[in-house]
Amino acid sequence: MALSDVYSARGTITLAATTSIAVASLYGTAAKRVWLVGVRVKVLQTGAVAGNDVTFTLARPSATNTGTGLASGVANDFSAPASIGQFATTWSTPPIVGTILAEWALPQTTGSMWEEFPPGGDEWGVPAVANANAGVHLFAQATVATSTPVSYDLIWSE
């Protein structure tokens, strides 16, 4: 499958508990298919001791969710049209982990990172906002409740 325009959105969040929380969501639209083609995650400066982990989960939701403050991604090509993919980091109804698409456990130590770019044809399809199982969502969960900032980058094509 030839990729067309590529977009990305990045951010940071601080984990301070041991529960799984939604970090970011990517929603498609009914107008055109959106494909998640890459994910990067990194543990920033933390005081957690060695032997603890942060688990990042990429999943479809188990129930209806509603992202708020939807934004388009940043185009990697300056001549690309505005993205129809919509990115959210806040929700009026947050997503809950449903079908797990991928999962990465990183040491909860400063500088741990992972990136995943599936081969062409194996990208993750992003359901449209109008669907009950809308979007693809990134979740994070730490094994110890030590303030742990993490960064993430979602890359998609249309």
pLDDT tens readout for residues 81-126: 878 888 999 998 889 999 999 999 999 999 999 999 988 778 888 8
- Residue 36, judged by CB atoms within 10 A of its CB (0-12, 13-18, 19+), counts as buried
124, 36 contact by CB (below 8 A): yes
Contact 127, 84 (CB under 8 A): no
Average pLDDT of the segment spanning 126-139: 79
Report pLDDT for 30: 73
pTM for the model stands at 0.90
User: What confidence category does residue 1 fall into, taking pLDDT thresholds of 50, 70 and 90?
Assistant: very low
- Amino acid identity for residue 111 in this structure: G
**Cα(41)–Cα(48) distance, integer angstroms:** 17
- Identity of the amino acid at 99: T
Average pLDDT over the chain reads 88
**Comparing 29-33, 76-80, 139-143, which segment has the lowest mean pLDDT?**
29-33
Q: Find out whether 105 and 50 touch, Cβ atoms under 8 Å.
A: no
pLDDT given for residue 65 in this prediction: 86
26 bridge partner residues = 87, 136
Chain length of the chain: 158
Is the pLDDT score of 69 beyond 90? Answer: no
Does the structure show a pLDDT above 80 at 4? Answer: no
